[in-house]
Amino acid sequence: MQVHELRRKIVDRLFTIACFGATVLALVALVFILWSLVIQGIGSLDLHVFTQSTPAPGSQGGLLNAIVGSLMMCMLAMIIALGIGILAGTWLAEYGGRTPYGAVVRFMNDVLLSAPSILVGLFIYELLVRPFHGFSGYAGAVALAFLATPIVTRTTEDILNLQPHTLREAGIALGTPQWRVIRQILWRAATAGLVTGGLLGFARISGETAPLLFTALNNQFFSLDMGHPTASLPAVIFQYALSAYDDWRRLAWAGSLIIAVVVLSISIIGRFMTREKFKP
């Protein structure tokens, strides 16, 4: 009996240590990554990065055009994603979510959520690049919208489902048309959640590379015209990292740091906004 007890204790101890070890290992690896990123990135970060466009190898330059290009495409993508995503999420939560068709839509939304982003790039290439014989920032924005919309849809549906049904009934009991109940009462009550959905979507797409490779391509020069190939941070990083030039590689690190900081900040803000609301 004692041996059995001892064995149980040992197994449990080992298990606890293993779990703790796993956590430490993972945290160490991740801290290592972030640390490398900061060290390499900070070293390459100076004012030029934000004021000059991407250079030819050997000359000085920055990432201005890439940053601006990314911003433009992400903004446009979010406008599209919010427009479609909020409406679709509202439909799932308020209208047809409980029908078989609604189940199919929800399922497909979830699949799109986790689908490989490079395939979205291929699709938009077929849809918007090939027929028009040219890469463009618009195509890139649409591809990004593809990736952000499922996130917005999901968070919209979730946050609307969290609203107490008495809120709906109180609106309807006054004789309010349903769309006004949704717009003036439900969406207003769910504002924090909807904004978070938008932020999460933005955070996701700001770092996406693959879908931009065949849609917006890249642009060495500064341009505000989205009808032609548009520079973006991820695309520039991809090109520069795999190159043989030292200064290009340094810029790639700077760009990675910028992206990581942006994504982390947005995630933190989004998390902060819904912290209180989600507590039951």
Partner 1 sequence: MTTAAIDADALECIMQEPPSSSLVMEARNLNFFYGKHQSLFSVSLPVQRNAITALIGPSGCGKSTLLRVLNRIYALYPGQHCTGRVVLNGEDVLHEQKRLRWLRKRVSLAVETQTGPDPIEHDQALRAGTDLARLRARVGMVFQKPTPFPMSIYDNIAFGVRIYHRKTKAEMDVIVEKSLRRAALWDEVKDKLHAPGLGLSGGQQQRLCVARGIAVEPEILLLDEPASALDPVSTAKLEATLLELKKEFTIVIVTHNLQQAARIADYTGFMYLGRMVEFGPTNGLFMNPQLQQTRDYVTGRFG
Partner 2 sequence: MLDVSEVTGGGIMPPPTLHQGEPAAIPHAKGAWFDPVFEGLCFGAATLLLASLSGLVISLAIGGWPALSHFGLSFFTSTTWNPVDDVYGAAGPIVGTILTAFVALAIALPLAIGIAVYLVEFCPRMLARSVSIAVELLAGIPSIVYGMWGLFVFAPLFAKYVQMPLIMHAAPGSLAEKLFAGVPNGANIVTASIILAIMILPYMATVLRELLLTVPPQVREAAYGLGCTPFEVVTSVIVPYVRRELVGVVMLGLGRALGETMAVTFVIGNAHGFPKSLFASGSTLASTIANEFTEATGELHTSALIALGLVLFMITFSVLALARALLSTKKV
Binding site for partner 1 (CB under 8 A): 164, 166-178, 180, 184-185, 188-189, 191
Per CB under 8 A, does 99 bind partner 2? no
Beta carbons of 270 and 203 less than 8 angstroms apart = yes
Q: Which of 45, 139, 182, 226 binds partner 2 (CB under 8 A)?
A: 182
Which residues are CB-neighbours of 10 under 8 A, at least 6 positions away? Answer: none
Question: 254 is written with which tokens?
Answer: 């700077």
- Count, in order, helices (H) and strands (E) of the chain: 13, 0
Q: Specify the DSSP element, H or E, that contains 45.
A: none
Distance CA 220, CA 231 (A): 7
Per CB under 8 A, does 155 bind partner 2? no
Beta carbons of 151 and 204 less than 8 angstroms apart = yes
Q: Which of 75, 98, 126, 134 binds partner 2 (CB under 8 A)?
A: 126
Helix (H, G, I), strand (E, B) or coil at 215: coil
Per CB under 8 A, does 208 bind partner 2? yes
Distance CA 145, CA 76 (A): 8
Closest distance to partner 2 from the beta carbon of 110 (Å): 5
Closest distance to partner 1 from the beta carbon of 156 (Å): 16
CB under 8 A: which stretch of 66-74, 162-170, 178-186, 189-197 binds partner 2? Answer: 178-186
Beta carbons of 244 and 58 less than 8 angstroms apart = no
Closest distance to partner 2 from the beta carbon of 26 (Å): 6
Beta carbons of 214 and 121 less than 8 angstroms apart = yes
Helix (H, G, I), strand (E, B) or coil at 280: coil
Which is closer to partner 2, CB of 10 or CB of 224?
A: 10
Which is closer to partner 2, CB of 17 or CB of 224?
A: 17
Q: Which of 38, 64, 71, 84 binds partner 2 (CB under 8 A)?
A: 84
Identify what 171 binds: partner 2, partner 1, none; CB under 5 to 8 Å per kind.
partner 1
Residue type at 239 in one-letter notation: Q
Per CB under 8 A, does 104 bind partner 2? yes
Write out the binding residues for partner 2, residues 230-249 only, by CB under 8 A.
Answer: 234, 237-238, 241-242, 249
Closest distance to partner 2 from the beta carbon of 220 (Å): 15
